[in-house]
Structures are given as structure tokens and as C-alpha cells.
Structure 1
Amino acid sequence: MENTEVESDILRSVRALLRELDGHHHAFQGERGMLRWTLHKKIDRNPLNSAILVKILVKELERAEKGDYRHYIIPLLHTLMYTLIKAPCISDDLYERVYDFCKKLLTLPKPYCTIGLDYAFRLKIERVTPGVLYQRMIISEQSLKSDPYPYQERVFMFADPDVLSKAVCNSLVTEAKAAQMYQNPRSCMCYVITRAVQAALGEDCDVESFQRILQNKPTDELEHCFRQVVAAVECTGSETNADRGRHAERLEKIYSMVLNSSAGGGSSPGGLHGTPLPNPNISFHLWTDEDQLWKELVLFVRPVSQTCEQDCLSQELDNFEIQDIVSDCDCCEQTRFSVLSTDSGIERDLPAAGEELLPPSSTDVEHARLQRKGGIKKKACLLESMALLQNSCNGPGAKQCGKLHRKSNSNMVPMPHFHRLYTARIVVLGDDRVLGRLAQTYYSLRKRETRRVFLTPRLSLQFYYVPVMEGQPNTWPTQDHTTPGQMELCELAVYLGKADPWYESNINTLCHMIPKLATMPSSLSTHPMSDPFIIDVIAYYVRLGIQPVYFQVYAVKIFFSNEAQEPAEDVFLTELSAKVQDCKAPKDHMQTKKKTTLEVPGADLAVTYSKVLLSNRKKEVEVLLRSTGLVMKAIPSSETEDLACLNVNIAEVVKTSNLTGRSFSSATNKIRTRNIKIQSMEQRTFNLCLDKDFRRTYTNVVGVEVSPCLEPSYCLQKTRTMKFSLHEPEDVGLAKYMPKSLLLPINTFAGIIQ
């Protein structure tokens, strides 16, 4: 009777979760984002009910597949997989039903077939080697030393202090610290050992006695037992014809050895017990330095050793690349790549007298012997080229410029896989302004890697976005109603929510919930055992959100009214807005001006753009119009839009004549393009704002050029190819396998559901 009540309660929770996905049940709006978390917490408090939840989820999946409820499939599948990872033991028939359902998804379009294939592969391994998914997750997330499975992951949370308030940042820091209370290596090793033994032996082991003995063991003995368990599990997982019985025998030997090592080594089966799944290692960072992300990644890939002091590494990081910015290869006249010096610094190794030497500085004469001389250009080795190519091929293909990059996966020729041992999961919190900053940083990082490949062969980068917005958004000062007056500061999050309903339910609900929770008194300070909701949701997001949505990064070249000032180059991700500055005439001129003359607002702009056509043909258009401002939107208004382009809305001033004389009205001129040039034909200038961030505002602008930002690795290969074949119109060599455009991938749960 008790099991019936528990099953009814879990079924009600699952049905409520499904009604939330329908989006038209207003009674559940206040609980959006909480239902999934509450359901998993019920199972965490009583892990024995995990089998009941798995059984219910399988039934709902089969019902959704038979009926017209396809939008239920991916959320139910993620909920099911998260439960299986944490479940102490699941019967073979349930594994078989889940595995068969995942195979059925292979007949459906993306992303169903992609997620189904991934989960079918995991389930096949987990069924033969129970506990392997849990073990690998703990080892990688907690950075435990393990030779059979040397992979490491870390979650970096970046918050812009100019976007988020101090209260929100402090609340996130408090939760991150509370989540790490039980993440010490000893506890995590005990979790891995206990989970592997219980998953293999089931109810035939005394879990309580086993855990007590492990906790009392010295650290070196615990590490030895941990290495034995990991080796046994990974050995079974790597076997072609793995046998579950043989796997159970291996772990039973370890289990008996641990029990016999204790004075009271008796064993009496005590039933199944749950094993905690600690949150991943999350570090919180206030984004104050432009190079902060890159430095954190370098420290993660090459941490401080016991024999190396922190200041030595900091100096090494500062001198790692002094000139780290590469010019845009297709947009500038000169391109300068990495220069490697090969001399030894000994006097006899210096160049001959006829060769050019670098003159020493007058202030550094006494240090002249320490300076490197006569560096030569060195071609990148094959490993570096292949690393850049493989990194570029993770995204959509290069030849699909006419379609929406967000919906296309890699169609490239498969290359040898570089086993990246490190995975950095970058979580940015804020609105579209922090995403614009992320695009800038990502572009700089890709240029660094083009100059000198360091992170690419070792590190896999995964980007995640959690929208957070406080108060009312600022408004762009304008008097023209045709120009958007109120900023949509979470425009990209709205798009992702429409494309992926599970992202809408779990992540978009944090947009206003995080500031709300920050104003409440924290229960974590008085009750450390309280569940950290925000960190739990972020941990769920980074673990299961593995389907990227690609967004085009656009390059901007800005020209100023002062001809002596060099043009500025920047990038943006979501929006570029411009407003013509008012030109006030002198008072004496206004007095002599005829009253009948009406001043025309705005400025004459020459606009040249390539029109986007469904046939993917190129059509250049040149127009001259008068405008007061414009807005370029890079994020489509609908998730069903199938073209990658800029939607440009130009506030055009139209002259009209009536009985009272001449007057002016405004109209919106809509343009869809990928490349556009705008030039002011008068003395009037305009202000330019990128990604709705007033910190990135340019004044006294007379011209702007916008085009898709090119991938730096493609530029490098293209430049090398042009040295040997100057008249090749098409890409040859490695360049033809690389995407031309730089795409920023933001991970979601399902990508874009078509």
C-alpha cells in the first residue's frame, strides 16, 4: 500500500512537469523551474524510489512516442537519464526498455536522433558496467587523480559586476561555497568506491559497514582502494565483449578485502542505500579583467605544481604572449604571425655581419646580452594545424553560409580525434551585454590560439548562459517611435526558450528568480544542510546541456569624423544600434534663417549591402536615404527562421507635401543582409552602441562596415595557401574544410527542436 501511495505521488509530480511544458497552464507559472528540482530531491531523500520513477518515466516516454506529444520526449529523457546516474540499482528489464526506446529515436530528425544515440551508447556501457557513468562523472568533475580515466572538468561561473548587483554576486558566492562543503577528495573517493560495489553486487553487500570501514581508513589505503575500483570498472568498460558476471567478481574481491581488513570483518546484507552525487567543482569569478578567462583556463590546464611557486607562474602567464592579437587576415593589409627565436643567445651563434640585428635600447644596454636576436618565422607543425582544424570542425560546416548556422551540425570530413583531457564549462550570468563581452573574449582567445596553439589540443570549451536581469531595463534615448525605445536585454535567452522548451522551464526561470532569492535571508547561513537551489540547477544544466546552438559573431569596422584617428575594430553578437547626433545651428544663423524653411531631421546615409535571397545568390544594392538612426538585429525573432542574416531596421525620414506646406514623416526601412556598409554624406555624425552595452559606445562616427566575423584559424590557412597559389579563387588545402565564420556555441538541453 505504501508503494502505491509513493508511486501515485511521483506520477502526479511527473504529470505536473509535463503540464508545465504545455505553456498554457497559468496555475503553475509561480512554480516554473521548481517542479523538476523538487522531483529529483524527492528521489535524493529516498533513493530506493528511483526505480519507481524510472518505471513511470519509461511509460510516459512510450506514451509520448505513440501520441502527438513529441515535445515531452527530450525533457522526459533527460529526467530519466539523470535518475539512472544517481540510482543505486536498476533492473535489467528497465534498462532494456529505456535502451530500446533510445534506439527508436534514431528514426526521428535532429535533435531526437542525436540525443537518442548518445544516451543509447551510455546505457549500453552502464548496463554491462553498472556505476561507470557515476564514477566518470565524479572523477572528472572533482579532478580526482586516476590513470585509467584521466579526464578533468571544471565549471567557471563569470558574472559582470557592472551588470549584476553586489547582493546577487554575494548570494551566488554563498551558494557555491555551501555546495563545496562535501566535495573533499576523501568523501568523493568513498562515494565512487561505494557506488561501484553496490551497483555490481546489489543487495548482497553490507553498505553501512563498508562505508564505515572506508571512512576510517588512512588516506593512502583509501587511495589504493580507489585506484583498484577505478581500474576494475574501466577495465570492464573498455572490453569488447564485457561480461557483467566477471565484473561483479572483480569488485567482490575488493569488497571482501576491505571488510577483512577491519577487526569486525563480518558481512550481513543490509539492502540498497543511496550514494550522494555532489555538485561539480564550481568557481565563481567577477569578470573584471579582459584576459581573466584566458588566464583561468591556462591555470586549469597547467596548474601550479608543488615545486613551482605562484608568482613564477603568474610571471609566466604575463609573458606567455606579449603580442597576442592577430590582425584580421582578410580585412587588413599586413598579417603578422608567431615568430619563434631559435638562437641560443651565445655570441658565436649570432647572425653574420651582413644580417640585420635588432638594436638594443639605450636604457637597456647593460641587459643587451640577455635579449633574443634574429628570430625566424616558423611554420606551424602538423599537430597544431590538425588541432585548429579539428576545433573548427566541431561547429557547422563552412559551405552552409546561406542557411541558419544554428540548425546545422558538422558535415565536415572526420579528422583524427584529439583526446582533450580537460573540459572547461564556462557559465556566464547576466543579459545580452555579458554575451557581447563573451563574444569579444572568445574572438580574442581564438586569435591567441591561431598565433600559438596551446589550449586547443588540450582543452574542450563549453559555453552556457544563465540569464539574470535586475530591475527595469534602461532605454535608448530617442524621440523617434520607429526606433526600438526599450531594450530587450535578454533577447537571446528568449530565443533559446522558444527553441528549447526545457531550457525555458529550467534556465529562463532563473532570470528573475536569482535576484529575488538574493534579497531573501539565506537559509544556508543558518542551516548548512539546506539544498542550494541555484547551484543545483546550474549543475543539472552543465551536466545535461550538451546540445549547442550556434550564433554568428559579426565584425564591425568603425570610421570616425577625425581622419587622423585610426578606424576601430570590434565584434558584436546580438545587436548594433546607431543614432544620428543632433546638429544645432548657431543662433545668428537661426535669426537670419527664413521662418518658412523647415529643418530636416537626421542625415543622408549611403547604404551598400548584399541582399539576402532564398536562392543564395549575391545581389548588391546601393541606396541613398535620410535617417535618424538604425538597429541591426543578429538574433532572429522566431526560432523557425531559416536564414543566417542581419535584420536591419533603418528609421527613414520621408518628405511629404500637403496644403500647409512641406512636412516630414518617418518610416521603417527593413533590410536583410549579411554585409553592409553605411557612410554619412554630411557633417553629422552618429553614436554607435554594440550589444546594448553603453560601455561599448562609439561617438563621432561617420561610417561603419559590418560583416560576419571570420574564424582566425581559417584566415591563417587561407593566408598560407595564398602564398603558394596567388590566383586560386576557391579555398584549397585545409582551408576548404574549415568554417569561414566564427560561431559562438551556447549549450542547451535540446538545441533547436524542428
Structure 2
Amino acid sequence: MESTEVESDILRRVRALLRELDGHHPACQCGRGMLRWTLHKKIDQNPSNSSVLVRILVKELERAERGDFRHYIIPLLHTLMYTLIKAPCISEELCGRVYDFCKKLLTLPKPFCTIGLDYAIRLKMERTTPGMLYQRMVIAEQSLKSDPYPYHEKIFIFADPDLLSEAICNALVTDMEAAQVSQSPQACMCYVITHALQAALGEGCNSTSLKRSLQDMPMSDVEHWFGQVVAAVECARGEGSTGRSQHAARMEKIYQNVLSSCPAGDAPLGGLQGTPLPNPSISFHLWTEDDQLWKELVLFIRPLSHTCEPSCLSRDLDNFEIPDMVSDCECCQQSRFSVLSTDSGIERDLPAAPEEPFIPCSMETEQSRLQRKGGIKKKPSPLEGVAFLQAGCNGPGVKSPAKPQRKPGISLEHPAPLQRLHTARIVLLGDDRILGRLAQAYHSLRKRETRRVFLTPRLNLQFYYIPVVTGQPDTGAADHAATGQEDLCEVARYLGRADPWYESNINTLCHMIPKLATMPSSPSKHLVTDLFITDVIAYYVRMGIQPVCFQVYAVKVFFSDPVQEPAEDVFLTELHTQVQDSIPHRELSMTKRKMTLDGPGTDLTVTYRKVVLSNRVKELAVSLRSTGLVMKTIPADEAEDLVCLNVNITEIVKINNLSGRSFSAVANRLKTRYIQIRSTEQRPFTVCLDKDSRRTYRNVISVEVSPCLEPSYCLQKTRAMKFSLPETEDVGLVKYMPKSLLLPINTFAGIIQ
């Protein structure tokens, strides 16, 4: 009877989750997103109910497929996989049903087939080697030392101190520090050992005795058994389904050895118990420097040594720069640096050395390399070592290192290609303005990588976005238009329309984070289980694997002062222009007279390429009088899939009637990818990018906007043009490279068609 009540309660919670996706849940809007969290917390409190939840979720998935409720499938599948990863043990029959359902999704369009394929691959590994998904996740997220699985992941949370209050930042830091109090390396290793043995042995594992034995062990013994378990699990993956019985036998042997290594106690015989899934490694950063993102990524791959003083970090990173590889690539032009050398390079200038002894043939290859003698040895900084790592990089714009002289009969081994062992998950907190800064930083990073590849072959870079607004909750974008307020979360609204699971779990944090930051701390604040924000962030970065790519646009600004050099920048969401009010005193009377005759604003010439479905280029030019315009890159309708600029120009129209002359404002709308705006009467205007007042250009006379090109594409095209006649079409390798610079932001489902 008790099991029936538990199953009914879980089914009721799952059905409430589905009603929330339809928008019919009676809970208030600010409470959305709590149902998924409370469901997982209830299972964490009683892990033996994991199989019950998985069975219910499988039934709901099959029902959603039969009833064509496709918007239920991805949320249910994410909930199921998250439960399955944390479950102590799931039967082979139940895993098989989930695996079969994921294979059925391969017949559906994206993103269903993409997510179904990814989860089918994971489930196949889990069926062959139970506990592998949990083990790999903990090893990577906690950066545990493991030779069989040497992967590392880290979450970098970036917040703009000008956009978020100090109270919100302090609350987030406190929340994350509290979540990692009990996550020592030894504790995480014990979690991996316990979960792997339970998953392999099932009811035959006495969890209580196992945990007690691990707690009494010294760190060296825990590391030893951790290595044994990881090696056994990774070895079983290569054996296939036939090696499952052998894997169970190996794990049984490890289990008996762990118990025998500690004195036997009077622990009761316990069944399966849940193993906590520790929160990922998270670092919180206030975004105060333009190149701070690049610096943190470099240090993630090559951390500073303990002997290096933290005060030297900024100086070392600022001094570290690599010369350009191509000087005539317009999008990648940077200052060139030269290096002063005190070595003449002439052999006779070297100090005399005693005659070297005979070198055996086996050592001849190693000794044949050129060596410097008589130099001053300097201990390199950890960041200076980056230059040495780059010699082995494979990528465009990289010169291969000088080949050593080889003699007949001696073969040289080529260095192994680099592997992406590090994954950096960048989480942005804020509104559209911080995404504009991210677009700037990402463009700068791609230009660095084009000049000399370092991060790209070693690092997987993932971007996540959590909207946070300190104002009051609103009901929609329509209210912004009615009240005249600026919508600072257009990207979040678009992602919420495209992905209902993102809307339920992430967009609800927009006003919840400021509210929780101002709430008084409760007595249970220190408990990890009560840290809602950290848990949601961990769930987002673990299950949000489908990117939504946004086009980054390049803008070139020309100023009224001919001496001033044009400025180049990028933006992601919006470009806003407005006629400048400040006019020199000598031009004030003439301007007033002209405004009286022609109306407010200034005369503009707009040249643009019209977007048509056939993709044929149709260039148009119009002249009009306007007070300003707004270019938006985020479509207002989720059904609109044209990647283009939506330009709204406020045109001033002169009306002659019996009462005299009057003026009215008319909104002109056009769609384009390339546009140029020029003031014909030399009256300047201002340009604001991504709604950020800190990124405002004044005294502007002309603006050019076009899709931002991928720097590596520009490099390869420049190289191709050197060896062939200038052509309008891409030739050679350029045809297969991404042309536009796209900023990917991860969600749970991507864009559901």
C-alpha cells in the first residue's frame, strides 16, 4: 500500500510538471521552475524511489509519442536522464526501455533526433558498464586525477558589477561557497567508489559498511581504490556487452578488498542507498576587464604555480602577446611586436667548449638538436610557457616548428595531436548588455586564435545565459512597448519561446535571484540541499547541450571629425542611432532655421541590400529625414527564421494643409543584412550598441553594418587570394569553413520547429 501511495505521489508531481509546460499550472508565475527541483530533491531524499520515477517517466514519454505531444518529450527525457545518472541502481530491463525509446527519436526532426542520439549513446555505455555516467561526470567536474579518464570541466560565472547589485553578487558567492563546503577530493572519490560498486553489484552491496570503511581510510588508500574502480569501469567499456559479467566479478573483488582493509564492525545490513552528486566546480567573476575571459581560460588550461604571486598575474597576462601571422587580413590587424635577441647566431661567437665525447647512435637524434650555450637561465612564468605549447598546435595560421636534421635510417616520431581535455562552461548573469560584452570578448578571442592557435585544440567552450533583472516582474514585451520601457531581455524571451524547458527553469530566475538575494538568511542556509540557485545552475550546465546560434554583426563608425580614425566594433542584439542635440553655437541659428523649414531630425541616405527568399542581391538606396533608427537582430516571432537585421526608421514627413505646415513621424521597416547610413547635411548623431550606455559613440556621421565574418575565414580567404585571381566566389578550403561569426548559447532543446 505504501508503494502505491509513493507511486501516486510521484505521478501527480510529473503530471503537474507537464501542466506547467502548457501554462495551465495554478501556481503563480514567479514560482515556476520549482516543480522540477522539488521532484529531484524528493528522489534524493529516498533514492530507492528512483526506479519508480524512471518507470513513470518512460510511460509518460511513450504516451506523449502516441498522442503527438512533442513538447513534452524533451523535458521528460532530460528529467529521466538526470534521475538515471544519480540513481544507485537501475534494472537492465528499465534501461533497455529508455534506450529503445531514444532510438525511436532518430526518425523525428531536429532537435529530437539529436538529443535522442546523444542519450542513446550514453545509455548504451551505461547498460554495458553501470555507473559510468556518474563516474565520468564527477571526475570531470571535480578535476579528479585519473589517467584512464583525464578530462576536466569548470564553470565560470561572469557577472557585470554595473548591472547587478552588490547584494546579488554577495548572495551568489555565499550560495556557491556553501555548496562546495563538503566537496573535498577525498569525499568525491568516496562517492565515485560507492556509486560504482552499488551500480555493478546492486542489492549485493552493503552500502552502510562500504561507506563506513571508506570514511575510516587514509587519503592514500582512498586514492588507491579510486584508481582501481576507475580503471575497472573504463576497461569494461571496451569489452562490450559480453564483458558485463567480468566487470561485475572485478567490482566484487574490489568490494571485498575494501571491506577487508578495515576492521569489521557491527554495521547493519543495509540496502541500496543514494550517493550525492556533488555540485560542479564553480568560480564567480566580476567582469571588470575586457580581456578577462581570455585570461581565465588560459589559466584554466595552464594554472599558475603555487610559487607565483597573484599580483604578477595581471602583468604577465598583459605582456603575453603573440605576433600576427598575416599582416594584410583586415579583420585581424593588430599591433606587431618584435623580440630583441642578444644572440648573434654566429657559431664562432659562442664560447669555446671542450671536445665532446663519442655519442652512440641511439642518442644521436636527441643530441642533434641545436642548443644555446653560455646564456643566462631565467625561470619562465607559467604564462610564458604558453608560447612553447603553441608549437605543437594544428590549425590555420600556425607555422610548423623547424624540422630537425635527420640522417638515413633514423625515423622521427610525430607528436600526437592535441586532445580537448578541458571544458569551460561560461555562464553569463545579467541582461542583453552583458551578452553584448560577451560578443565583443568572443570576437576578440577568435581573432587571437586566428593569429596563433592555442585554446581551440585544447578547450571545449560552452556558453550559457541566465537572465537577471533587478526591476519588477513584467508580463511581456507588449507592456514594454506600451509603457515606453526598454526590453533588456530580448534574447531570454526568444530562447524561452523556442525552448519551453528553458522558459520554465531558467527564465524564471530572472526575478527570483534578486528576490532570494534580499531575503533574510534562514537557519538551513548552509545546507547544500537547500541551495536552489546553485542546483539549478548545475542542472542547466549538465543537461543544456543544444546550442542556439546568434549572428554577431560588425559595425564601422565614421566620425564628423575627418582627423579621427573610424571605429570598429561588434554587437549582438541592437544598434540604436539618435540625432545629436549638442550643436556648436555658430551653427545653432542655421540649424533652427532649417528645422523650422524641413522639420526635426536630419537628412539621411540609407543604402541597403534587401533580404529576399531567393537570396538574390537587391541593393536599394533611399533618402529621407529621420530622428533616429533602431536595428534589431532578435526576431520578434519564433516562426521567423530569416537571419537578418530588422531596421525601424522613424521618418519625418512634411504635411501641407490649410492651417499651415506640420510634421508627422512615420515608421519605416526593412529587412537587410548589409546597410549603410550617412548624414547628408553633416549633422552628427549618436550610436549605442546593445542597449549599453557605456558603448556609445558620439559625433558620428556615417555607419556601416554587416554580418561579422569569422576571423579564420578571413585568414584563409586572404591566403587563397594570394595564389589565385580575385574572385567573388570562395575557392579551395574556404568553401568548407564557416563564414559568419556565430555566438552559440546552450539551451535544453535548441529551437523546436
* 1:57-206 pair list within 5 angstroms: 57-206=57-206
SS of structure 2 residue aligned to 1:49: helix
State the partner residue of 2:712: 713
- Counterpart of 1:510, as a letter, is L
Distance 2:570 2:14 in 1: 44
Q: Which moved more, 1:556-565 or 1:242-251?
A: 242-251
- Counterpart of 2:197, as a letter, is V
- Contact 1:173 1:284 (8 Å CA) reproduced: yes
Distance 2:340 2:196 in 1: 52
SS of structure 2 residue aligned to 1:217: coil
Structure 1 residue 729: Cα displacement: 3.3
Q: Which moved more, 1:589-598 or 1:141-150?
A: 589-598
Distance change in 2, residues 1:742/1:417 (3 Å): farther
Structure 1: runs of 5+ lacking an equivalent: 352-369, 371-379, 389-415, 475-480
Q: Which moved more, 1:553-562 or 1:304-313?
A: 304-313
Distance 1:533 1:596 in 2: 57
- Counterpart of 1:55, as a letter, is R
Distance change in 2, residues 1:591/1:202 (3 Å): closer
State the partner residue of 2:580: 581
- Contact 1:603 1:680 (8 Å CA) reproduced: yes
* 1:456-605 pair list within 5 angstroms: 456-471=456-471, 485-523=484-522, 527-582=526-581, 598=597, 600-605=599-604
Output one character per residue of 1:461-519: Cα deviation in whole Å (capped at 9) or x when no partner: 00000000012699xxxxxx999942110000000000000000000000000001111
Q: Does 1:751 align with 2:744?
A: no
SS of structure 1 residue aligned to 2:155: strand
Q: Does 1:51 align with 2:55?
A: no
State the partner residue of 2:208: 208
- Counterpart of 2:231, as a letter, is A
CA RMSD of aligned residues (A): 3.2
* 1:710-749 pair list within 5 angstroms: 710-749=709-748
Structure 1 residue 226: Cα displacement: 0.4
Structure 1 residue 331: Cα displacement: 5.8
- Contact 1:422 1:460 (8 Å CA) reproduced: yes
Distance 1:2 1:596 in 2: 81
- Contact 1:64 1:73 (8 Å CA) reproduced: yes
Distance change in 2, residues 1:127/1:268 (3 Å): farther
Distance change in 2, residues 1:216/1:553 (3 Å): same
Distance 1:135 1:10 in 2: 27
Output one character per residue of 1:556-597: Cα deviation in whole Å (capped at 9) or x when no partner: 100111111111111000000011123779699869999995
Q: Which moved more, 1:564-573 or 1:340-349?
A: 340-349
SS of structure 1 residue aligned to 2:696: strand
State the partner residue of 1:258: 258
- Contact 2:396 2:450 (8 Å CA) reproduced: no
Structure 1 residue 678: Cα displacement: 0.5
State the partner residue of 1:392: none
Distance 1:468 1:588 in 2: 44
Structure 1 residue 345: Cα displacement: 2.4
State the partner residue of 1:423: 423
Distance change in 2, residues 1:25/1:213 (3 Å): closer
- Contact 2:30 2:508 (8 Å CA) reproduced: no
TM-score using structure 2 length: 0.87
| Count of residue pairs brought into register by the alignment | 696
Output one character per residue of 1:616-639: Cα deviation in whole Å (capped at 9) or x when no partner: 000000111110000000011111
- Counterpart of 1:553, as a letter, is V
Of the three residues 372, 385, 391, the one matched with 2:395 is 385
Structure 1 residue 218: Cα displacement: 1.2
Output one character per residue of 1:214-247: Cα deviation in whole Å (capped at 9) or x when no partner: 1111111110110000000011113345521111
Distance 1:565 1:217 in 2: 70
Q: Does 1:278 align with 2:281?
A: no
- Contact 1:711 1:740 (8 Å CA) reproduced: yes
State the partner residue of 2:354: none
- Counterpart of 1:180, as a letter, is Q
* 1:625-644 pair list within 5 angstroms: 625-644=624-643
Output one character per residue of 1:146-185: Cα deviation in whole Å (capped at 9) or x when no partner: 0000000000000000000011101100111011111110
Output one character per residue of 1:417-463: Cα deviation in whole Å (capped at 9) or x when no partner: 96300000000000000000000010111111111111111001000
Distance change in 2, residues 1:171/1:593 (3 Å): closer
Structure 1 residue 322: Cα displacement: 6.5
SS of structure 2 residue aligned to 1:704: strand
- Counterpart of 2:261, as a letter, is S
Distance 1:120 1:482 in 2: 45
Q: Does 1:695 align with 2:694?
A: yes
Distance change in 2, residues 1:714/1:349 (3 Å): farther
State the partner residue of 2:8: 8
SS of structure 1 residue aligned to 2:395: helix
- Counterpart of 2:236, as a letter, is T
- Contact 1:204 1:269 (8 Å CA) reproduced: no
- Contact 2:471 2:511 (8 Å CA) reproduced: no
Structure 1 residue 266: Cα displacement: 8.5
Output one character per residue of 1:348-406: Cα deviation in whole Å (capped at 9) or x when no partner: 3799xxxxxxxxxxxxxxxxxx9xxxxxxxxx989532699xxxxxxxxxxxxxxxxxx
Distance 1:386 1:589 in 2: 54
Q: Does 1:38 align with 2:38?
A: yes
- Contact 2:164 2:430 (8 Å CA) reproduced: yes
Distance change in 2, residues 1:49/1:696 (3 Å): same
- Counterpart of 2:120, as a letter, is A
Distance 2:587 2:526 in 1: 73
Q: Which moved more, 1:307-316 or 1:515-524?
A: 307-316
- Contact 1:142 1:152 (8 Å CA) reproduced: yes
Distance 2:687 2:560 in 1: 13
Distance 1:633 1:15 in 2: 39
- Counterpart of 1:435, as a letter, is L
Distance 1:596 1:260 in 2: 93
- Contact 1:328 1:715 (8 Å CA) reproduced: no
Q: Does 1:348 align with 2:358?
A: no
State the partner residue of 1:619: 618
Structure 1 residue 206: Cα displacement: 1.3
Structure 2: runs of 5+ lacking an equivalent: 350-377, 379-389, 399-415, 475-479
Output one character per residue of 1:625-672: Cα deviation in whole Å (capped at 9) or x when no partner: 110000000011111112100000000011111111221111111010
- Contact 2:325 2:452 (8 Å CA) reproduced: no
Distance 2:652 2:484 in 1: 17
Distance change in 2, residues 1:324/1:745 (3 Å): farther
State the partner residue of 1:438: 438
Distance change in 2, residues 1:326/1:652 (3 Å): farther
- Contact 2:574 2:630 (8 Å CA) reproduced: yes
State the partner residue of 2:355: none
Q: Does 1:220 align with 2:230?
A: no
- Contact 1:158 1:428 (8 Å CA) reproduced: yes
SS of structure 1 residue aligned to 2:420: coil
**Aligned residues: percent identity?**
70
Q: Does 1:681 align with 2:680?
A: yes
State the partner residue of 2:652: 653
SS of structure 2 residue aligned to 1:557: strand
- Counterpart of 2:445, as a letter, is L
